[in-house]
Structure 1
Amino acid sequence: MAQTAAAGVAVPGAAGGAHDDDPAGESLGHRIRRLRVARGLTQQQVAGSRYTRAFLGAVESGARVPSPEALAHFARQLGLPVDDLRYGRPANAAAQLAAEQAVARRDLSAGRLDAAERALTGIRRRAEAYRLSELAGWARYHLAEAQLHRGLTEDAAARYDVLADDLPDGCPPLRAAVLARQAYCLLVAGDAPRAVAILEGGLRALRAAPPVDADAELRLTNALMYTFLELSWRERARRLEREVAPLLGRVTHREWVAQFHAVAGQLRRDGELDEADRHLREAVRRYTELGLTREIALCHWARGYVLLRAGRPGEAGAELRRAREMLGAVGAVLDHAGATLELAEARRREGVLDEAGALAEEAAGAAAASDHRELMAEADRVRGLVRAARGDDVQARRLLLRAVDRYERAGLMGDVVITCRHLAELLLAGAERDEAAAVLRRGLRAAERLS
């Protein structure tokens, strides 16, 4: 949808004629002369009473370099912002590039990754040429998002790390977005403690330097709420939700408000399904307004997640199947694998073991290919429970034990507790009391670390 060079915004370095806003290789002096002539002004009119016509002539010929004060004067005389004159920016360049970036963001969410990347590469090049550093930073951020969308987590993480070291000053929302994604990549890589440390450190630093940017604070808090949910620290996540809710009216980044509602919906327990639905409907409404397909699918996944934990696997399965289909259609590799695993668990609880097993095997392959540690552990757990239900205790035990090990290495103690309970039940059914006791003790140690 978005083109690399949208109408009305010239591409620096592109060949062009006299009608172009920024012809190739144009010097500052030539630009001043071209704009002056286009406006029908004489050299004396642009020089005014402050500078001589001869001085302006020397500037236009390249013989003299204007001081910042002189350049600001010439810009006023030409009716331009000084940076537009200095960097050869077309009129409304920042607004035009921001609009193109919004289109590329929708393309990215819809899985039109090649089109999004072409547009974002062009946006970044022009933004850098026009010294619009924040817009260039956002283009780089979304290019990293495209890699994450593909399931190329290591490449995405490397891009976020490079961007984090090269962020422009005075852009707290961009810094918060990058920190949130760095933390997510650590979570995927199985380093939940470091993910928490990055997010908590980022929030402390942001709040220590008032005035605090509401958008940045919400983005970091959303990420921390999500991470706490993954760690089964639900009450800590709910406290964060209460802390940040008063900010929503001051936040300008609408996608992050929708994200808040999506995470808040997942924090509701089985007795709060109406409240969960209220939050998730609000998230879907906002994402729909923004045209973000993948994020709408994530809300269906979130509703299935809540319903499954409320003991309603049939209803959960319908939501999860829809999420899986939508995420598959847009090519969101990791999200599709996650929704597939959640659907596998719903089908297992319904007793549809063949489908549950096939879904879990599919997700396990995607998780391994992306080295997503949590999904690899979850795939082992679901597959182990399916094997146990089929009476294959040997394979069930192997898979559940490997799930425990993987969850523990990732720092996901809540999942360690749950999986230890499943494994202990399997061992007790086989009269392996000592082994079951050892597994339960391991689960208890994990539970102590939860608090």
Structure 2
Amino acid sequence: MTESGSGGVRLDGPGAIGRRVLRLRTELGLTQRQLAEPAYTPAYVSTLESGKVRPSEAALRHLAERLGVTPEELVTGRPARLAAELRLRLTDARHVLATGAPEDAAALFRTLRDEAVEHALPGEQATALLGLGECLLESGDLDDAHECFGSVERLLADEPLPRRVPAIRGRANAHRLTGELRYACHLLETALDQLNASGLHDPDALLLLYSASIAPYMDMGAQERAAHAAELALALAPRVDDPALLAGMHRGVARTLIAQGRIAEADASLAKAQDLYQQLHIRTELAHCHWMRGYVHAQDGDLERAESELRTAHDMLTAKRAALYAEQVEVELADVLRRRGKVREVEALLRPLLATGTEPAESKDVPALRAGRGAVHVGAAHRLLGLIAEECGDTEAAEEHYRAALPLLERAGVSGDVADLCRLLGDLLRRTGRTEAALDAYRTGLAHRSTPGTTTLGPAPAPPPM
């Protein structure tokens, strides 16, 4: 039987404490009298060892001093330095995640989680699960990542909301990568409303949530809401000292600047993020900066520099074995290569991503990218292959790719992409003489274009007092 002390620390019952005292006394070769005197009697020690009484704080200090342990170790069975050592090893595991392969870091986090469970350290267990969830996001195991982040939220259910925000952000990211953009926005906005309603205006938590909300807003076409989140994040930045949070903010803000056509400012914001990630040696996030800079150059028409940045990002993510992100970069690289006329390279990149896996090591006969795992990029890959098919005169294959992409993008709620795809499909149908079908495609696209990213989102969360 256990009880909870302050801070959620497990306190064993009298029986467990008594057995622990008996074991330690026997190991040291002490009699009950030697352990008890001068403050207590042998009878008291005997009663305590039989589990009939819980020792007082004073008795715990006396017994611990005689037995060569700490009072905490007597009441919890946990060595005094265990929690501190576990936290140091968690820091080491995060360094492995930042610089190495996610599966290597995941193995460390699983070991640390198990040790935290064994010694009833819920805070350290939550930290290990949070790290494990981030590993699973990188490797593309999104269902398991969902479960990890959900477990963290359950472990910290009685903690203040700011403690749960990293897990909420992680779960929202998992939903975004799955293609559930509306739900990702719902999670982040609900947390923001709860923070503000409760008066918990924690700048780190708020910055993390506002920065995380930019990506799903932009994917849905809700550019005004994304820009507002970026403004609030920038206003919070002077109150935040964590360089990783600030780097993530700069990366998110860059997306809104790109959408506004402020390319030079976007590139400057990415440069700030890149500099911080280099200082922190966080290679995955650094690769994301190269990825986004490639997108910036592509938007600016500098396709050669765009290709160079995207190849750098791809090489870094492949070296880290961050599989899902590497596959997504391949789709964006393919878009740049198509615009540069390198059609064969595009097909060589995209077809393996959409083809059914046949490697013996694979446990499932499924595509690398698919609905539920990079759904937006699956749709983008089909769109690119459709464009190539059209350019080659194969309208049947082009239509097949467009129609494969449409439900994926509709379910994800990426309104701008859906509208563009409907235009392509409508043009193709019109050129092949199917006017009514073309009109249906255009109508579908117009419905998505009319109010991009707003039809499925409720009121924006109230901003915090600055």
**Native 8 Å contact 2:102 2:136 kept in 1:** no
Instruction: Give 2:233's aligned residue.
Output: 244
Distance in 2 (alpha carbons) for counterparts of 1:369 and 1:329: 25
1:138-161 CA deviation, whole Å, 9 max, x = no partner?
101222333332222222223333
Instruction: Give 2:213's aligned residue.
Output: 224
Instruction: Give 2:461's aligned residue.
Output: none
Instruction: Give 1:300's aligned residue.
Output: 290
Instruction: Give 2:407's aligned residue.
Output: 405
The correspondence for 1:118, drawn from 99, 107, 111, is 107
Q: Say whether 1:186 aligns with 2:175.
A: yes
Q: How does 1:154-233 map to 2 (within 5 A)?
A: 154-170=143-159, 172-233=161-222
Where structure 2 has 5 or more consecutive residues not aligned to the other structure, the ranges are: 1-16, 355-366, 455-466
Instruction: Give 1:98's aligned residue.
Output: 87
- Over 3 Å counting, the alpha-carbon distance change for 1:238 and 1:192 in structure 2 is same
User: Shift in Å at residue 210 of structure 1?
Assistant: 2.3
The correspondence for 1:283, drawn from 273, 296, 310, is 273
**TM, length-normalised to structure 2:** 0.79
User: Shift in Å at residue 371 of structure 1?
Assistant: 3.7
Distance in 2 (alpha carbons) for counterparts of 1:91 and 1:113: 31
**Native 8 Å contact 1:340 1:360 kept in 2:** yes
Instruction: Give 1:29's aligned residue.
Output: 21
1:142-184 CA deviation, whole Å, 9 max, x = no partner?
2233333222222222333344333353254452122222222
1:268-322 CA deviation, whole Å, 9 max, x = no partner?
2274223222222222222223322111111111111222223332221111111
User: Shift in Å at residue 239 of structure 1?
Assistant: 0.5
Where structure 1 has 5 or more consecutive residues not aligned to the other structure, the ranges are: 1-24
Q: Say whether 1:273 aligns with 2:263.
A: yes
1:259 counterpart letter in structure 2? G
Distance in 2 (alpha carbons) for counterparts of 1:310 and 1:54: 84
- Over 3 Å counting, the alpha-carbon distance change for 1:406 and 1:129 in structure 2 is closer
**Native 8 Å contact 1:138 1:174 kept in 2:** no
**Native 8 Å contact 1:377 1:407 kept in 2:** yes
Look up the SS of the partner of 1:288 in the other structure.
Answer: helix
Distance in 2 (alpha carbons) for counterparts of 1:193 and 1:303: 26
Number of residue pairs matched by the alignment: 420
Aligned-residue RMSD, C-alpha: 3.3
Q: Which moved more, 1:216-225 or 1:55-64?
A: 55-64
Distance in 1 (alpha carbons) for counterparts of 2:442 and 2:371: 32
**Native 8 Å contact 1:255 1:286 kept in 2:** yes
Instruction: Give 2:306's aligned residue.
Output: 316
Instruction: Give 2:397's aligned residue.
Output: 395
Q: Say whether 1:355 aligns with 2:345.
A: yes
User: Shift in Å at residue 262 of structure 1?
Assistant: 1.6
Instruction: Give 1:441's aligned residue.
Output: 443
Instruction: Give 1:138's aligned residue.
Output: 127
Look up the SS of the partner of 1:169 in the other structure.
Answer: coil
Distance in 2 (alpha carbons) for counterparts of 1:245 and 1:326: 29
> Identity, % of aligned pairs?
28
Q: Which moved more, 1:248-257 or 1:392-401?
A: 248-257
Instruction: Give 2:378's aligned residue.
Output: 376
**Native 8 Å contact 1:266 1:303 kept in 2:** no
